[in-house]
A and B are shown apart, each in its own frame.
Chain A
Amino acid sequence: MGTLIKIAWRNVRRHKRRTFLSALVIAVGLAMFILMNSIMTGMDRANIDNLVELSTSSIRISTKEYAEDIESLPLKYGLQNVQELTMFIQQQEYVAGATPRTQFLGQLSNWEETMPVIGQVVDAKTDVIVFALMNYLEGNYFSDEGENEIILGKGLAEQMGVQTGDYITLYALTRYESRNADEFHIVGLLNTTDPNINLNTILITYETADSFLDLEGLVTELYVAMERRVSYNLFVKDVQQLQTKLQSRFPELQIDSFLKIASGFLKLTEQKKAFGMIFMLIILAIAAVGIFNSVLMSVYERIREIGVLRAQGMKRGEIITLFLWEGGFIGILGSILGLIIGCGANIYFVLVGIPLDKFSGLETSGLPFLGRMYGEWNIGAIIFVFLFGIIVAVAASYLPSRMASKMEVTKAIRYV
């Protein structure tokens, strides 16, 4: 085996230009895979971050009855022990904060038209710790003493023809199911990347809702934010650990992580990943054609050599092994080169990111077209593609190797 490896390696070194070009084909395929994977992973992470920061938070806590009837956002299943819950949560590791919210259904009217809305009653102080709405706020946040202040999704405001500083009427059923209406002062508009918030959502404070909805401090949901981790898997682990702890400490409550709340979205992300993987495999298949040609050329150049080896008693299997080693060496060189190019370029994507401002204004579905999008390191994918590059090279060498082994010795020796 040692001699076969020696002959294969020296042949790879002897034909430097051919080796370099073949390795380059693999390297380009690999580098593209690493970069695409990084960008796609980064995009997925940005989407999930966005979802967690704007809508779901890391964990949502409610009563089981409320969870069963969540579609109608009932104002009758309030959490009894919000303070105890909050204190317990804040003592846990990697928790950034917790905030109560009470959702309700309402209608917004500008006296000309009426729009259905989802109302969010928020704690003005703690909500900004859990949700990143401030980053997308145009105008002002709730003031300390202000009453009947409201924040609207920007799309909603545009549809209603109102802007910051205007007044608008909100209708809703109170906790005791009597209809109520009041005028609210628009202090800010939310221009987020989540179309649901932009088009359907209004925010008011508990102080305002206490009188408007007769809430009397009713909290239907408690949202928990975990600290962001560079590794998504670690973040998920943190969330799941806290969820388990909460579940065992408060078994009577419904504890849902963002993984459940946004399961449909996450499933879509997984499907997108699979599609991306197929695309990458096509790129590597193209690289395989390059290797096939290279080894085939090598076979043609060395027909006499093959004849001599066979005449000396080398078995067909050994001839195949010889050329497979040659393909393997090209694969290793290409894969290393691909790692250097791919990881080198990915450092830029991870540290500097891609500016997305130029895309702003496009209709999005949760993609943060603001600021920059960053690449992500995906060590598993990098190891996979490194090994895959070598396997592809060896596999692509098989057919020409087999052809070499089947040559008639006399013809091979006489071949010019």
Chain B
Amino acid sequence: MPLLELINVKKDYMKGETVIPALRGVDLLIEKGDFLSIVGPSGSGKSTLLNIIGCIDTPTEGSVLYDGTDLSELNDKEKTRYRKENISFIFQSFNLIPVLTARENVELPLIIEKKFNKEEIHDKVSNIIEIVGLEDMADRFPRELSGGQEQRVAIARALVKNPLVVLADEPTANLDSEMSEDIISVMQKMNEEIHTTFIFSTHDPLVQKHAERVIILRDGLIASDERKNHGHAD
């Protein structure tokens, strides 16, 4: 059974009285441990697709099955739990909590999850902060960090709880190529070792280069779906 199954997913937005279709009927199977990149021009529906998979948006038509469960049938509480237990987001604009330090921002998902004690949280956070190279910046507030450093905090925040699925919207947009390589290799390691599923929405050729599967979206439809090592997925 695929981890995620999108069946004829459509999403329309209203602008005044005009209907703007963002997704026009997407069918997609995502396996556990996929390391896939969704590419396409602006407005092609990449972010909308990520939001629907992440259960922070709902499709106008069609269904999304996660491990066989139809997400559209979940109530608000169940959606919240689904996100808490399975999903991590990396937002393009970082979206760090301004009144929390870098370390506290990274701690936040673990605190929300309420599964770990203080020591475990400390160890996990220290480890991921070291991986993203922010040991010296851990006690700084977001306003005291550069764009690249903020992005690394956002990545650490997403990875710290070892989620099953990471949804990353332009995760390397503010990083130099060296840091991008480092971060991608961390993600690849997680992907290989604990089979974390990574779904990127990106324009970055570096991410596309490392992705095992590349989906091209055009005008709200899948134009191509290529699995690099194993040939075409469909």
Chain A contacts to B: CB under 8 angstroms: 3, 6-7, 10-11, 14, 304-305, 307-316, 318, 408-410, 413
Question: How near does chain A come to B234, taking the closest CB pair, in angstroms?
Answer: 28
The 5 closest A-B pairs by CB, nearest first: A313-B84, A10-B99, A409-B56, A308-B95, A410-B57
- 10 extra A-B contacts, CB within 8 A, seeds A7-B97, A7-B100: A3-B108, A7-B99, A14-B99, A305-B95, A308-B96, A311-B83, A313-B84, A316-B76, A318-B112, A409-B56
Choose one: A308, A310, A315, A318; the contact of B97 (CB below 8 Å): A308
Q: Can you list 7 residue pairs at the A/B interface with Cβ under 8 Å?
A: A3-B104, A3-B108, A14-B98, A305-B95, A305-B97, A312-B89, A312-B108
Chain A proximity mask over B70-89: 1 for CB below 8 Å, otherwise 0: 00000011001101110111
A312–B84 CB distance below 8 A: yes
For residue B143, give the distance in angstroms from its CB to the closest CB of chain A: 10
How far is it, in angstroms, between the C-alpha of A14 and the C-alpha of B142 when the chains are bound?
13
CB contact under 8 A between A312 and B109, given known A410-B56, A413-B91: yes
Q: How far is the CA of A408 from the CA of B54 in the complex (A)?
A: 13
- Complex interface: chain A residues within 8 A of B104 (CB): 3, 6
Most chain B Cβ neighbours within 10 Å, of A315, A408, A409: A409
Q: For the complex formed, measure the closest distance between the CB of B5 and the CB atoms of chain A, giving whole angstroms.
A: 21
Query: Across the interface, which residues of B come within 8 angstroms of A308, CB to CB?
Result: 89, 91, 95-97
Q: A307-B95, A410-B51 are in contact. Are A313 and B56 (CB under 8 A)?
A: no
- B181 CB to closest chain A CB (Å) equals 27
Name B residues whose Cβ lies closer than 8 Å to a Cβ of A: 51, 54, 56-57, 76-77, 80-81, 83-85, 87-89, 91, 95-100, 104, 107-109, 111-113
B99 cross-chain contacts in A, Cβ below 8 A: 7, 10-11, 14
Known contacts A10-B99, A316-B76; A311 and B54 CB within 8 A of each other: yes
Structural contact, A313 and B83, CB atoms closer than 8 A = yes
Please, which residues of chain A bring their CB within 8 A of the CB of B98?
14, 305
Please, which residue of chain B has its CB at the minimum distance from the CB of A1? B111
In the complex, what residues of B have CB within 8 A of residue A314's CB? 80, 112
A313 to B113, CA, bound (A): 8
Among B80, B84, B88, B113, max chain A CB count under 10 A is at B80
Question: A305 vs B97: C-alpha distance in the bound complex, in angstroms?
Answer: 6
Distance, CA A31 to CA B108, complexed state (A): 39
Enumerate chain A residues within 8 angstroms of B108, measured Cβ to Cβ: 3, 309, 312
Contact call A311/B113, Cβ cutoff below 8 A: no
A311 and B55 alpha carbons, distance in the complex (Å):
8
Cβ–Cβ < 8 Å partners of A311 in chain B: 54, 56, 83, 89
Collect the chain A residues with CB atoms within 8 Å of residue B77's CB. 315
Q: Indicate which residue in B87, B95, B100, B107 contacts A10 across the interface (CB closer than 8 Å).
A: B100
CB distance from A404 to the nearest CB of B (A): 14
A316: B residues at CB distance < 8 A:
76, 80
For A10, list chain B residues within 8 Å (CB). Answer: 99-100
For A305, A313, A318, the residue with the greatest tally of chain B CB atoms inside 10 Å of its CB is A313
**Which B residue's beta carbon lies closest to that of A405?**
B76
Given contacts A10-B100, A11-B99, contact A312 B91 (CB under 8 A): no
* Complex Cα–Cα for A311 and B76 (A): 12
Whether A313 and B80, one on each chain, are in contact in the complex, defined by CB atoms closer than 8 angstroms, is yes
A313 CB contacts on chain B under 8 angstroms:
80-81, 83-85, 87, 109, 112-113
Closest residue of chain A to B57 (Cβ to Cβ) is: A410
Q: Which residue on chain A has the smallest CB distance to residue B54?
A: A311
Q: Quick one: which of A305, A310, A314, A413 has the most chain B CB within 10 A? A: A413
Q: Which residue of B lies closest to A13 (CB)?
A: B99
How far apart are the CA atoms of A211 and B80 in the complex, in Å?
A: 98
Which of chain A's residues have a CB closer than 8 A to the CB of B54? 311
Contact A3 B111 (CB under 8 A): yes
B230–chain A nearest beta-carbon distance, Å: 32
Q: Which residues of A contact B112 (CB under 8 A)?
A: 309, 312-314, 318
How long is the Cα–Cα vector from A11 to B98 in the complex, in angstroms?
Answer: 9
Q: How far is it, in angstroms, between the C-alpha of A14 and the C-alpha of B96 when the chains are bound?
A: 15
Instruction: Kindly list chain B residues whose C-beta atoms are within 8 Å of the C-beta of A304.
Output: 95
